[in-house]
Structure 1
Amino acid sequence: MHRLIPLFVAAVLVAAPALSEPANWKREWPGTDFSRTNIESWGEIQSGGPPRDGIPAVDAPEFYKSSAENTLKPNEPVLTVAMDGQSERAYPIRYLIWHEIVNDAIGGIPIAVTFCPLCNSGVTFDRRTKHGVLTFGVSGKLRKSDMVMFDRETESWWQQAVGKAIVGDLTGAELKMLPSWMESWSQFKARNGREGLVMKQPDGRRPYGRNPYQGYDSSSRPFLYNGEMPPHGISPVARVVRVGDKAWPVARVRKAGGVSEAGVRISWEAGQASALDTGEIARGKDVGTIRVRDAQGRDVVHDVMFAFAFHAFWPDGQWMIAP
């Protein structure tokens, strides 16, 4: 963490833990019902540095066909969302690393495409709930180093990695996760030809293409995380493939050339740069692309996250470290 470049993350590095009394948050969060929560201690929630909406979510993004894109480098990571009857959409991590949430809709289905850089967690949610369609923003708070989102309709707080409300009126509610995956821009473009859609650069003053977390995925300890480290001697920032409550180390999948276990087939293909390595995303080390499919070849909901985050949110989860 000592090599992070001094953009907005400089403020994050010196941020003190958030005050642990909800009364101190009321001015910033007048609509949040702090009497409702399912976390054990307010001390679990800390300030990440930026205030509410200091990392601005993107609403109603624009897209154009992949044939018109000439900015992305071939190995740059994108988060791909594919829905039946619709063109696949690529959400470049060069944008998500600065905005973390994109509120979009595909084929009439409202979705939230999310990326937490500190956990390397990229998850897509259906924004429809029994409480109505929600729109999400970045709270500026962290819990177990993972982004705490909030919905603008009730100002409830949500844990990004698990898609569950942890504070406010909607405490206990859960978002449906949708299949999506990270891959390189060249992999997306090769599969979709000229017909794939790619998100346009947001209208924000950010150095898109730069990584504000330089060296993070080779750090020895996650930022603002005081929980247990992963078992089995696994590095806290080693990537693992989470499917439900099971985690496969990416190193194992890569070495084996893919694995078929627990009803899923996990493949690995070279060519995708880490977004959290060097200062320029396109120069990041090759971490490869993971795809997870079921026996019928259908994409399965999964996340390629850091090992510490899996252990933090699935402490009783199963580590798939050997055949």
Structure 2
Amino acid sequence: MRLTTLFAALSLLATLAHANPEFWRHEWDRTNFDRHIIDNWKEIRDGGPPKDGIPAIRNPAFRKASSETRIKDTEPVMTVEIGNATPRAYPLRYLVWHEIVNDTVAGVPIAVTYCPLCNSGITFDRRTKHGVLSFGVSGKLRHSDMIMFDRETESWWQQAIGEAIVGDLTGTKLRMLPGWMESWAQFKARHPNGLVMDQPDFSRHYGRNPYAGYDSGSRPFMYNGEMPPHGISPLARVVRVGNRAWPLTRIRKLGGVNEAGVNITWESGQASALDASVIARGRDVGTVRVRDKQGRDMVHDVMFAFAFHAFWPKGKWMTGG
């Protein structure tokens, strides 16, 4: 199915669905809709798949990087390095189909998350004052961003900001962990003895992009909010650090930036996961690393500009002007 046809079909489903908790209670009978931070329920839309229709991964299998032959060098992976644990790579060829991987690294329970519609890839610590949570994909969207849910209380969580927005845990925030996207070749070069997530046991077209051409479009899917300022395209990538956003075009042009206590570098070689129908053939968007003055990796996200503006409407745009 062509992307435009798929989006049209999903948009129709979203239009038919009622943005009302009473309509959702039959599927979400454990969710406490009396607790929420939503001003207007119409902000939440059905993305098409039902709860767990996009199956999150629990207890993923891994293999040595040196034994992996299916992943092409340009394909993007999300890298996680915690303590003295062997570094791990989570390929986007799997995350575009599953969006969440629940894992444990060096004793730390984590959730590696990726929202294709916002290009938002963030790793969270699953430990909270309410206990360790396990996350799934709700099938709901808010400002085009994935809404996750925890299986313990079925509260709803906004992926881009890591905060519970509906349910008993409303207001609880997850701790974001430093991590980054890079090419498979870059990960292997640094960590030839590293680990890579093995192919899940699901019937999916791994290695193919179900959102072909999306990040070259003019408008994001299921988004009715304000567009970014400064003439920045809504689907342009920005590097978010806290409430600041650096346009990727500026970083690439300058070869990197060092300002506001943040050092951002860029290196070519990583394909966009949302461009060509085969991920490995996507255009080169490069790899971003973000470090502080001491050279330590910082929490960041390389997301679409519209999503930054939606969730940080008062954020600072680092355009260099």
Superposition pairs for residues 12-161 of structure 1, below 5 Å?
12-17=10-15, 18-161=17-160
Length-normalised TM-score, structure 1: 0.97
- Number of the residue aligned with 2:231: 233
Q: How does 1:222-261 map to 2 (within 5 A)?
A: 222-261=220-259
Specify the alignment match of 1:301 in structure 2. 299
Deviation at 1:279, TM superposition (A): 0.5
- Shift of the 101–208 alpha-carbon distance from structure 1 to 2, 3 Å rule, reads same
Query: 2: CA distance between counterparts of 1:15 and 1:184?
Result: 35
Structure 2 residues without counterparts, runs of 5 or longer: none
Deviation, 1:13, is 4.4
By how many angstroms is 1:6 displaced? 6.5
Secondary structure of the residue aligned to 1:16 is helix
- CA distance in 2: counterparts of 1:6 and 1:79, whole angstroms: 29
Q: What is the TM-score when the length of structure 2 is the normalising length?
A: 0.97
Query: What residue is the counterpart of 1:315 in the other structure?
Result: 313
- 1:16 deviation in Å? 2.0
Q: Secondary structure at the match of 1:165?
A: strand
Q: Specify the code of the residue in structure 2 equivalent to 1:306.
A: F
The CA distance in 1 between the partners of 2:229 and 2:201, in whole Å, is 43
Task: Assess if the C-alpha contact under 8 Å between 1:5 and 1:279 holds in 2.
Answer: no
1:242-280: per-residue Cα shift (whole Å, max 9, x none)? Answer: 000000000000000100011110000000000000100
CA shift digits 1:97-131 (9 cap, x unpaired): 00000000001110000000000000000000000
Assess if the C-alpha contact under 8 Å between 1:5 and 1:214 holds in 2. no
Output the CA distance in 2 between the equivalents of 1:280 and 1:10. 22
What is the correspondence of 1:194-233 to structure 2 with a 5 Å cutoff? 195-233=193-231
Instruction: Provide, for residues 220-239 of structure 1, a one-character-per-residue CA deviation record: whole Å limited to 9, x for no partner.
Output: 00000000000000000000
C-alpha change, 1:51 and 1:11, in structure 2 (3 Å) is: farther
Q: Which amino acid in the other structure matches residue 169 of structure 1?
A: D
The whole-number CA distance in structure 2 between the counterparts of 1:42 and 1:13 is 17
Displacement after TM superposition at 1:11 (Å): 4.5
Structure 1 CA distance for aligned equivalents of residues 258 and 56 of structure 2: 37
Say if 1:5 and 1:213, in contact at 8 Å, map to a contact too.
Answer: no
Find the residue that maps to 1:255 and give its secondary structure: helix
Partner of 2:190: 191
Runs of 4+ in structure 1 deviating by more than 3 angstroms, as ranges, are none
What displacement does 1:5 show?
A: 7.2
Contact 1:36 1:167 in 2 (8 A): yes
Give the AA of the match of 2:180. Answer: W
Runs of at least 5 residues in structure 1 that lack an aligned partner in the other structure:
none
2: CA distance between counterparts of 1:166 and 1:234? 28
* Partner SS, residue 276 of structure 1: coil
Between the aligned partners of 1:320 and 1:68, the Cα distance in structure 2 is 41
CA distance in 2, matches of 1:208, 1:98: 8
Structure 1 262/3 Cα, relative in aligned 2: closer, same or farther at 3 Å?
farther
**SS of residue matched to 1:43:** helix
Alignment-derived partner of residue 263 in structure 2: 265
Question: For the structure 1 residues 53 and 132, does the alpha-carbon distance in structure 2 shift closer, same or farther, using more than 3 Å as the test?
Answer: same
